[in-house]
Every structure is written in structure tokens, then in C-alpha cells.
Chains A and B, each alone.
Chain A
Amino acid sequence: MKTKRLTELALLTAAALIIFIVELRLPDLSSIPGVKLGLANIFTVYAVYSYRAREAMLLLLTRIVLGSVFSSNFSAIIYSLAGGALCIAGMLLLKRVIPINFLWLCSVFGAMLHNTGQIAAAVVLTRSPAVFVHYPMLVVSGCIAGLFTGLCAQYVLKRLIPVRKNETTSKEKEE
């Protein structure tokens, strides 16, 4: 990994962590655990579309591990990891089908998969299928949250594409 790329990823992770921690301070939207905006996922979706698969996974993993360290909520890390793994695997596959103009759609699927992973982990850990009662609610909230974070990532990406192009052309000129 080139130093520049490493720095970019580190910067993205730091920004994602800041948003993640700020969001923790907001009051819960619903009594159902897991219903939230997931603003930090703006960076996950962004990374899926502008970095290699490996790099996007690394970004998400670092964010989840450090996020649970900073929020001192280690019991939630299994849910986050299960959701995150399913979410990023799904999005990396869907990226081949969905072009960048429909990034929000990919993000919606990512959010739904994230909640699917979480509820699956909850059922396995608590051994109570009753938790499934919350699943439809989580899917609905996931769709809305995914749409929102996806649109955010899409706007960011659209504005950054010209900047990145300029960077590469100026570099070519230097060379």
C-alpha cells in the first residue's frame, strides 16, 4: 500500500470514528436496539466505491474495533462485526452490478444486510427466536437510513471525482 493511500484511509477512518462517536451522543431514535442512522457508514459506502475491496474491508474493521473501544461497549462488537461483514460483502458484490450513479441503492442493500447480520447474531447469541419480531422494523429503518447515508456518500463522491482527476493529471504533467 502506498503511503498516500494509507494516509487517505487513515483519514477516512478517523472521520468515520468522529461521526460514529457524535452519533452515540444523540438520543435513541427507537426502543428497538439497532435502529439508528449509522452515519459512519457514509464512509463505508464511499470506500467501497473509491477503494479496493481489501481497503474498504480494512477501513470498516478498524472503525468497528476502535469504535467499540471508544464507546466502551464491547458486548456490541459481535453484532457490529456480524452486520458489518455481511454488509460489506454484499455491497462489494453489488458494486459490480450497480453503477456509481445508483450508489444509494447499493447503500440501501448494505443497510438491510447489516441489520440482517445483526439480528442473526442476536438470535444465535440469545438463543431466542423471539428477537425476530424486530426484524421487519429493522429492515424498514435500515432502508431509510441506508438511503440517507448512500445519498450523502454519492454527493461527496461526485464532488470529489473532479478533484481526484485533477490530481492525477497534474501528477502526470510533473512526471
Chain B
Amino acid sequence: MTKGVKICLAAAVTIFAAAAVAVVILHRPAESTWVEITQDGKVLYTLDLANFDDETTQTIRIDSPDGGYNIVEIGEGNTIRISEADCPDKTCIKTGTLRYESVPIVCLPHKLVIKLVDEPKDGG
């Protein structure tokens, strides 16, 4: 093993470890049950998922100003996801259920963001 290889190997291991730590930090499960739905920077809804019925599914249709739509589904076990959208990439649907505070559900074409937030202090 030459010196160059050793340096490269050490660099690779360091980067891998740093990235792995970052993944663990970013993917901490959320503690809050409050969810904020924003579109183009404006808050549309602030919901407490704990208030929803555990066994039924409820949907909210959100129309985008430029014509598209997203259907947000609050389902069993107080989970939230985007179940339907007319955007071309469908990344928001593939993201699946909202789980982590640092990883929001984003629909870029419709500028829609669903993220977990801290409980409002004035009781919502």
C-alpha cells in the first residue's frame, strides 16, 4: 500500500463516517405531532395530528395558484402523506409518510411544503 492509497482510504473512511453520523442526526424520529402545511411561504394549515381519529382517513385537497393540486391524506395512526398530485415528478408521493423533523415533504412544482413543527405555545 503506497502513501497515496493510505491517504485516500483514510479520506474515504472519514467522509463515510461523517455522512453516516449526519444521516443519524437528520433522521431522528419526530417528537412533535404538530404539522404545518405551507404553500409559497404562506401557512395554509397548522394541524395537531393527535387530534385526528386514529382509524379513519381524512383528506385535504390543496389547489395550487397555478392550476395543479395535491391531496394530503391524514391516515391511520396519525400519519400524514401526499396521496395524489398532478405534478410531473411525483417526488412528494414517493417521499411517503412524514417522519422526520428535518426531512419535510416537498412538492417543488406546486411550492407545497409539509413539515413537522413545535407545538404552538399559545395552544394553537
Contacts and interface: CB of A to CB of B under 8 A. Distances in A.
Contacts of B95: 31
B5 A130 contact: no
B32 to A, nearest CB: 18
Contacts of A143: 12, 15-16, 19
Contacts of A112: 12, 15
Interface residues of A, number: 24
Interface string A125-152: 0101010010111011001000000000
Interface of chain B, helix or strand or loop or mixed? helix
A105 B11 CA distance: 10
Contacts of B108: 126, 128
Interface of chain A, helix or strand or loop or mixed? helix
A137 B15 CA distance: 12
Nearest to A128: B108
A-B pairs with lowest CB-CB distance, top 4: A136-B22, A97-B4, A139-B19, A136-B19
Interface of B: 1-2, 4-5, 8-9, 12, 15-16, 18-20, 22-23, 26, 88-89, 91, 94-96, 102-104, 106, 108
6 contacts: A75-B89, A99-B2, A112-B15, A130-B104, A139-B16, A139-B19
